[in-house]
Structure 1
Amino acid sequence: MIDHFALGWVTPILSFLLSCAGCAVGLTCTARARVARGRASSAWLVLGAISIGGTGIWVMHFVAMLGFHVRGAETRFDVTLTIASGLLAVLVVGLGLFIVRAAGVGALALLGGGTVTGLGVAAMHYLGMRAMHVGVTITYDAVTVVMSVLIAVVAATAGLWLSAKVHNFAAGTAATLIMGLAVSGMHYTGMSAMRAEEVTSGIVTSDVGIGMGELLGPLIIGITINTILLLLVVGLAPSAAEMEAQAKFAVWQDRQNETLRGDASPRSRSQLL
């Protein structure tokens, strides 16, 4: 028997809050990317992908997985596949963000970016599930799997649209909650597709991967360091509004300088005559 809430409400609530936190930081980064130029804009999009794909999606997925338990079986994880699933989440979110920046927020760009990102997020989820070994046969209900993929595509499309449209705190808060609910909904829909072979006696173990306890320590350290660094970068850098004001001031200053140079030229010529 599969239990997705073996630790009670701790894992779904904590994973939802982490997803919201990652999406909030990511939306802050994409807001800065809209007003920055050149490499600075690309750097902010990369940070946005790390925040949304890494913390908002993959960390949420993994923390929710802590509540997963097959009765009578020990859960172990393939480290390589687990890390690969995290990198995949960051990569596909980054692709979606760059597609929308390059092509705009038109229907075609959002559909393309959302499809790429959504399929990638779904692949991340099932790759993460493939990394988990419980010593019994795991199968999936095809209809529920398709439903989870569709939710991922819709959620990704909505997330990309929000990343390009959020301009104030109220909208950012609403977008964060929407994205957190969408990511959590996709995860638990995908999890509900699982079917596990029943364990009739004893405890089934697997010799593949490492146990939860061995993986949890390094994971918490890595997540903590990554989160602190992202918060420092976002907190110390100028806000999107400040960056936009600075850009407008720079344009105004250039125009003033051009005007002064234009006024000075006739005066200089008359002095020469």
Structure 2
Amino acid sequence: MTAEVSEFHYGLITPIAAYLMAFLGAVLALRCTTRSIGRGRGQKKLGWLALGAVSLGCGIWTMHFIAMIGFSVDGGLVSYDSGRTLLSLFVCIAVVAVGVFLVGYRGSGPVTLGTAGVLTGLGVAAMHYLGMTAVNTGGDVHYDTTVVVLSVVIAVVAATAALWAAVSISAVWATIGAALVMGAAVSTMHYTGMAAVSVHVAQMQSGGQSSTSLLSFLLVMLAGPVAALILAGAIVMFDPEVVGGQRDWHPAERQEAVAGRRFTA
């Protein structure tokens, strides 16, 4: 029989908290990428791009699993495979890093941006569905193919827009606006993907979802990525160039930045 599935076991708390984490990861990634522009190809550029990739990857992954706290199956006991859950985190950070480094070093030309956007979007979708394989519902999980494809398209579009914004927007308020949109896009991708899910169980189990143990597990899994976001936030907050959008470049760095913009035009 088909069990009733809900994404809002705790009401609006989980989608709002998930969105805020996606927004936080996006705004930190945008500011870090802005800081890397004009920094040549040295360690400073590498460090800022890496921090941006980790921030965006952790923000997306954290959004996904905070939202999953609200996932419940009527008559089913939801549990998670910790190995696959952690693997989905590493996949998310890795694919986001590919996109961030591509646009960070090669600019936002159409070919580079398109390639980076597709790779990153597919990677984010892979993270989502890999994370879903870690979920044990006590039944068989099925997906609506059309809705799955739609979620992947949303992921690619969102990733492309995020990468474009990362190298094209520098003003603080513009960055915040872009991050608000990116957070909404990531959340939309997640809930679209979850709309494709149906669960078929052979027999309803009494007691339903074990909320306490499930919540405890997910909070433990979330501790590391949330700590990484807090650390990234502290680094950004104490760097005046990131916060204020001001760049005190050396002449050679300024010349390279100008040349890079001409290249991508």
TM-score by length of 2: 0.86
In the other structure, the counterpart of 1:262 is none
In the other structure, the counterpart of 1:159 is 162
In the other structure, the counterpart of 2:218 is 216
Deviation of 1:228 after TM superposition, in Å, equals 2.6
Counterpart contact for 1:110–1:157, Cα < 8 Å: yes
Higher mean alpha-carbon deviation, 74-83 vs 233-242, is at 233-242
Distance across 1 between alignment mates of 2:170 and 2:230: 24
Q: 1:7 and 1:247, CA in 2 relative to 1: closer, same or farther beyond 3 A?
A: same
Higher mean alpha-carbon deviation, 194-203 vs 37-46, is at 194-203
Counterpart contact for 1:30–1:45, Cα < 8 Å: yes
Counterpart contact for 1:35–1:243, Cα < 8 Å: no
User: Counterpart of 1:86 in 2: which secondary structure?
Assistant: helix
Counterpart contact for 1:72–1:204, Cα < 8 Å: yes
Deviations 1:200-220, CA, capped at 9 Å, x for gaps: 5333899xxx94144134234
Q: 1:112 and 1:137, CA in 2 relative to 1: closer, same or farther beyond 3 A?
A: same
Task: Name the amino acid aligned to 2:6.
Answer: D
Q: Which of the pair has the greater relative contact order for Cα pairs under 8 Å at 6+ separation?
A: 2
Identical columns (%): 38
User: Counterpart of 1:122 in 2: which secondary structure?
Assistant: helix
Task: Name the amino acid aligned to 1:231.
Answer: G
Deviation of 1:166 after TM superposition, in Å, equals 1.0
User: Counterpart of 1:32 in 2: which secondary structure?
Assistant: helix
Higher mean alpha-carbon deviation, 39-48 vs 100-109, is at 100-109
In the comparison of the two structures, how many residue pairs are matched?
247
Counterpart contact for 1:135–1:205, Cα < 8 Å: no
- Does structure 1 residue 175 correspond to structure 2 residue 178? yes
Higher mean alpha-carbon deviation, 59-68 vs 33-42, is at 33-42
In the other structure, the counterpart of 2:17 is 14
In the other structure, the counterpart of 1:48 is 52
Distance across 2 between alignment mates of 1:220 and 1:121: 17
Question: How do 1:1-80 residues align onto structure 2 when only pairs under 5 Å count?
Answer: 1-37=4-40, 38-55=42-59, 57-80=60-83
In the other structure, the counterpart of 2:101 is 98
Counterpart contact for 1:26–1:48, Cα < 8 Å: yes
Counterpart contact for 1:88–1:124, Cα < 8 Å: yes
Deviation of 1:246 after TM superposition, in Å, equals 4.6
Deviations 1:160-206, CA, capped at 9 Å, x for gaps: 00001111022111101110011001000100001111565333899
Q: 1:90 and 1:237, CA in 2 relative to 1: closer, same or farther beyond 3 A?
A: same
TM-score by length of 1: 0.84
Gaps in structure 1 of 5+ consecutive residues: 252-273
In the other structure, the counterpart of 2:262 is none
Deviation of 1:101 after TM superposition, in Å, equals 2.3
Distance across 1 between alignment mates of 2:76 and 2:223: 27
Task: Name the amino acid aligned to 2:140.
Answer: T
The CA RMSD measured in Å over matched residues stands at: 2.3
Task: Name the amino acid aligned to 1:158.
Answer: A
Q: 1:224 and 1:105, CA in 2 relative to 1: closer, same or farther beyond 3 A?
A: closer
In the other structure, the counterpart of 1:114 is 117
Based on CA coordinates, which of the two structures has the bigger radius of gyration?
1
Higher mean alpha-carbon deviation, 95-104 vs 188-197, is at 95-104
User: Counterpart of 1:196 in 2: which secondary structure?
Assistant: strand
Counterpart contact for 2:78–2:135, Cα < 8 Å: yes
Deviations 1:14-37, CA, capped at 9 Å, x for gaps: 100111011111111101111323
Task: Name the amino acid aligned to 1:233.
Answer: I
Distance across 2 between alignment mates of 1:219 and 1:187: 18
